[in-house]
Chain A
Amino acid sequence: DAGVIQSPRHEVTEMGQEVTLRCKPISGHDYLFWYRQTMMRGLELLIYFNNNVPIDDSGMPEDRFSAKMPNASFSTLKIQPSEPRDSAVYFCASSSGQEFQPQHFGDGTRLSIL
């Protein structure tokens, strides 16, 4: 089975530019999570969806960040405008609806804002 697929794997862009990160969850999973990982702050949950509906976005840093899930097989995390402090590895994860099932992570997008 294909795992969680994220694109791009690496993104380097200049401050002020719009950045869009993409995620394809595992087929059949109805939860989708976006995380950010940095050395300073560790692993942070940004937002998660259930059946394409945002459930908790309390981890989204500020209004520059937005996330959508237009259908069960695709989600985006957008940063506009980007800032150097947004540089991090962004992970997407998905899981099935049963609460004891683990989350499955993609390999992340390494984002560098110059």
Chain B
Amino acid sequence: AQSVAQPEDQVNVAEGNPLTVKCTYSVSGNPYLFWYVQYPNRGLQFLLKYITGDNLVKGSYGFEAEFNKSQTSFHLKKPSALVSDSALYFCAVRRPSNTGKLIFGQGTTLQVKP
């Protein structure tokens, strides 16, 4: 069965420190991987995606993600966290040739403290 796991319900970091939000997946083939962010009372916003090529992808707001095929992981990272980064983060995966359906993780709340 296809699945996405975000092992941490919440991640707490201090402003200015690096942050990592973890994601692992179980999907056959070479999936497409996505990160979304959700602020309160808003819809999910696309941050970045991995399709192929360089394992480190850069996205919006200074975020980046590292794809590791052997570990089937796609961790979200940022070198220096901001208080405004506090939000709910979702990892998602789509199997190639799938008809558009995304499989989402359960979400990780990021709390950045001043």
Contact = CB atoms under 8 A, between A and B. Distances in A.
Contacts of A95: 100
A91 B49 contact: no
Interface stretch (B18-26, B69-77, B78-86, B89-97): B89-97
A13 B5 CA distance: 35
B43 A108 contact: yes
Interface string B84-112: 00000010001011111110101100000
Interface size class on chain A is 20 to 34
Contact of B104 (A43, A97, A100, A102): A43
A76 to B, nearest CB: 18
B11 interface: no
B51 interface: yes
Given A43-B104, A48-B100, A48-B101, A99 B32 contact: yes
Contacts, number: 56
Interface in B11-53: 32, 34, 36, 41-46, 49, 51
B43 A99 contact: no
Interface size class on chain B is 20 to 34
B46 A104 contact: yes
Contacts of A55: 99-100
Shortest 8 CB-CB distances between A and B: which pairs?
A: A105-B43, A102-B46, A105-B44, A31-B100, A100-B51, A107-B43, A42-B106, A100-B32
Given A93-B43, A104-B46, A107-B42, 19 more contacts: A31-B100, A42-B107, A45-B101, A45-B102, A48-B100, A56-B99, A91-B43, A93-B44, A97-B100, A99-B32, A99-B94, A99-B97, A100-B49, A102-B34, A102-B46, A103-B44, A103-B46, A105-B43, A107-B41
Interface of B: 32, 34, 36, 41-46, 49, 51, 90, 94, 96-102, 104, 106-107
27 contacts: A4-B43, A33-B100, A43-B44, A43-B90, A43-B104, A43-B107, A48-B100, A50-B100, A91-B43, A91-B44, A95-B100, A97-B100, A99-B32, A99-B97, A99-B98, A100-B32, A100-B49, A102-B34, A102-B36, A102-B46, A103-B44, A103-B102, A105-B36, A107-B42, A108-B41, A108-B42, A108-B43
